[in-house]
Amino acid sequence: MSFDNAYEAINDGAGEDAHWAFGTGFDDPLAGVDRALPAGVPVAELTAYCLMLGDDALVLSQRLAEWCSRAPELEEDVALANIALDLLGQARLLLSRAGEVEGAGRDEDTLAYLRDEHEFRNVRLVEIDCGPGPGGDFASTIARLLVFSSWRLAVFSRLVESADPVLSAVAAKGVKELAYHRDHAAQWTLRLAGGTEYSRERMVAGLARVWPLVGELFDPHPVELALPGVAVDPSLLRPEVDQVLDTVFGAAGLHRPEIAPLSPVAGRTGRDGAHTEALGYLLAEMQYLARSLPGASW
Amino acid sequence: MTARAVAEGVLDPELPVLTLAELGVLREVIESDDRVVVTITPTYSGCPAIEEMRRDLRTALTEAGYRDVEVRTVLAPAWTTDWISESGRRKLLEHGIAPPARVGPRPAGPVPLNLVPPPARVPCPRCGSAETTELSRFSATACKALRRCESCREPFEHVKEL
């Protein structure tokens, strides 16, 4: 197949289904998936839970993608971009499910591009700026990926049994992806901690940087507690995740940081839409084009 | 040609030596009168090739004379590399891509942590040497790792086990 110009190539096959230029509108990731809602599940809470897990993945995906072409080596550009892509895929499925359960006509693109900061329900850990720009560094990116993927893998391992068929299916796919992400972060932690004195200092500092935001992962939220059999209560995961992290720290000769958790803001955390200032800047970049040309299609 | 035969002949957009059937993502083809419903499953959650697959299936079936074609996606049971058929594995090898080992069902309980890359026995697809090293767990597509043969020194791709 040959085309006179790139635009024609991109447009090929779109036919009558014009695409939203900045969205994913070409494809419904849940097309054909069994979407039945389990009986007796509260709709508002299930919507919120899908947003919580979806926003975690979307925001960290955006953060990891920032490293593409800026990582310490070419293989790492590719690795972080691949991990970001897996998380973006998980986010698409979860945001689509959130929109569908909510039943207010919002699709994955509307949820990703047209919500404001206070409507995002991700944990604050995923939004802080760990580089590659000023103030960030690769070691804190690795520290965050290690903690987050260990936690999410523990969540997804249990979510496989969820009464919601979509959450269960998303989790079953995600488990294997997350195991690769966790291994990758664990292996880098060993490499940095066991490298030079300087790389070790950076790894220690990276862990200290993210540690105040770790506790929030395990605080059970009313949304999770309102969905027994559907959601996972994260407070039950702490021993398993600690064991994984302690294994990595032990092999790396590191100590688990003892740093107090970052306080909630008036009792609210990322799960309630109370974020650090980093999220606003991230969303500004991610959403700018889609918002400046609303509904643009090709 | 039956709709199933047409669908089974469509090639994977990212590994175009394999058909979608050999890759194991083609789950079902149901034909009734003029209507065909094809069911596929994604490899990785974020695999961008799935839209290409849907389009290629629609195009192939439309060109074969089927006017009403629907392509559906299923997520469960999740695809694993064990779904790649024997002929698919052979074709990968013939094209210089090391096929994945069979992994079997995931054991119950927590997923074990790997602090060092597991000692995968991935023979070189060119010279057959067992002396190969993983260069990177992640490669040009989500499903492949990058390795190097220590005997013939050639780099090669490996469809990593999922």
Cβ neighbors of A181 (< 8 A, separation 6 or more) are A83, A86, A145, A149, A153
Strand B68-73 and strand B144-149: the pairing is unpaired
Cα first-last separation, chain A: 20
Q: What pLDDT, in 10s, does the model give residues A66-95?
A: 999 999 999 999 999 999 999 999 999 999
Confidence of residue A6 (pLDDT cuts 50, 70, 90): very low
The answer to whether B82 and B19 are in contact (CB under 8 A) is no
The SS3 call for residue B35 is strand
Radius of gyration of chain A (CA): 20
Distance of CA B5 to the CA centre of its chain: 19
- B106 has a chain A CB within 8 A of its CB: yes
CA distances from A123 to A183, A187, B17, B78, B118 (A): 22, 24, 42, 27, 32
Q: What pLDDT, in 10s, does the model give residues B59-112?
A: 999 999 999 999 988 888 899 999 999 999 999 999 999 999 998 887 888 888
Pair of tokens at residue A279? 């999220």
Residue A172 to residue B111, Cβ atoms within 8 A: no
pLDDT given for residue A16 in this prediction: 44
A264 has pLDDT over 70: yes
pLDDT given for residue A25 in this prediction: 53
Q: Cα dihedral sign for A206, A211, A212, A218?
A: positive
Distance of CA B27 to the CA centre of its chain: 13
- A208 has a chain B CB within 8 A of its CB: no
Name the closest residue on chain B to residue A12, using Cα atoms. Answer: B55
* Measured distance CA(B160)–CA(B145) in Å, rounded: 6
Cβ neighbors of A117 (< 8 A, separation 6 or more) are A273, A275, A279, A280, A283
pLDDT given for residue B33 in this prediction: 82
Residue A79 to residue B140, Cβ atoms within 8 A: no
Beta bridge partners of B145: B158
The answer to whether A208 and A259 are in contact (CB under 8 A) is yes
How far away is chain B from the Cα of A172, in angstroms, using its nearest Cα? 6
A26 has pLDDT over 60: no
Residue B115 to residue A187, Cβ atoms within 8 A: yes
pLDDT given for residue A21 in this prediction: 58
A13 has pLDDT over 70: no
Of the two residues A25 and B57, the one the predictor is more confident about is B57
Residue B51 to residue A27, Cβ atoms within 8 A: yes
- What is the average pLDDT score of chain A? 90
* Measured distance CA(A10)–CA(A4) in Å, rounded: 11
Chain B residues touching A182 at Cβ < 8 A: 113
CATH code of the domain made up of B3-73: 3.30.300.130
pLDDT given for residue A235 in this prediction: 97
Confidence of residue A37 (pLDDT cuts 50, 70, 90): confident
Residue A89 to residue B45, Cβ atoms within 8 A: yes
A1 has pLDDT over 60: no
Of the two residues A134 and B58, the one the predictor is more confident about is B58
Beta bridge partners of B136: B146
Residue A169 to residue B45, Cβ atoms within 8 A: no
Residue A93 to residue B45, Cβ atoms within 8 A: yes
Q: What pLDDT, in 10s, does the model give residues A104-141?
A: 999 999 999 999 999 999 999 999 999 898 877 899 99
- A97 has a chain B CB within 8 A of its CB: no
Phi, then psi, of B135 in degrees rounded to 5:
-90, -40
CA distances from A17 to A20, A33, A42, B36 (A): 9, 21, 34, 20
* Measured distance CA(A277)–CA(A76) in Å, rounded: 28
A15 has pLDDT over 70: no
| Percent of residues, chain A, with pLDDT higher than 90 | 81
Cβ neighbors of A143 (< 8 A, separation 6 or more) are A185, A189, A203, A206, A207, A209, A210
Interface of A with B in 247-266 (CB under 8 A): 247-248, 251
The answer to whether A35 and A105 are in contact (CB under 8 A) is no
Q: What pLDDT, in 10s, does the model give residues B23-39?
A: 999 999 999 888 999 99
Query: Mean pLDDT across the stretch A249-275?
Result: 95
Chain A residues touching B78 at Cβ < 8 A: 169, 172-173, 176
Tokens 């790649």, located at residue:
B84
Phi, then psi, of A71 in degrees rounded to 5:
-75, 165
Q: What pLDDT, in 10s, does the model give residues B107-144?
A: 888 888 988 877 778 999 999 999 999 988 898 888 89
- B138 has a chain A CB within 8 A of its CB: yes
Domain ranges for chain B: 3-73, 118-162
Beta bridge partners of B36: B31, B69
* Measured distance CA(A178)–CA(A155) in Å, rounded: 11
Domain ranges for chain A: 40-292
Confidence of residue A32 (pLDDT cuts 50, 70, 90): low
Of the two residues B49 and A135, the one the predictor is more confident about is B49
* Measured distance CA(B58)–CA(A116) in Å, rounded: 38
pLDDT given for residue B149 in this prediction: 96
Cβ neighbors of A98 (< 8 A, separation 6 or more) are A47, A48, A50, A51, A54, A106, A111
Distance of CA A187 to the CA centre of its chain: 20
Chain A residues touching B79 at Cβ < 8 A: 173
pLDDT given for residue A81 in this prediction: 95
CATH T-level fold of A40-292: Ferritin (1.20.1260)
Residue B73 to residue A92, Cβ atoms within 8 A: no
A10 has pLDDT over 90: no
Tokens 């991230």, located at residue:
A282
What angle, rounded to 10 degrees, do the helices at A138-159 and A197-210 form?
50
| Percent of residues, chain A, with pLDDT higher than 70 | 88
- Report which of A77, A12, A66 is spatially closest to residue B51, judged by C-alpha positions: A12
Beta bridge partners of A282: none
Interface of A with B in 264-283 (CB under 8 A): none
* Measured distance CA(B152)–CA(B70) in Å, rounded: 47
Strand arrangement of the beta sheet that strand B144-149 belongs to: B97-98, B155-159, B144-149, B132-136
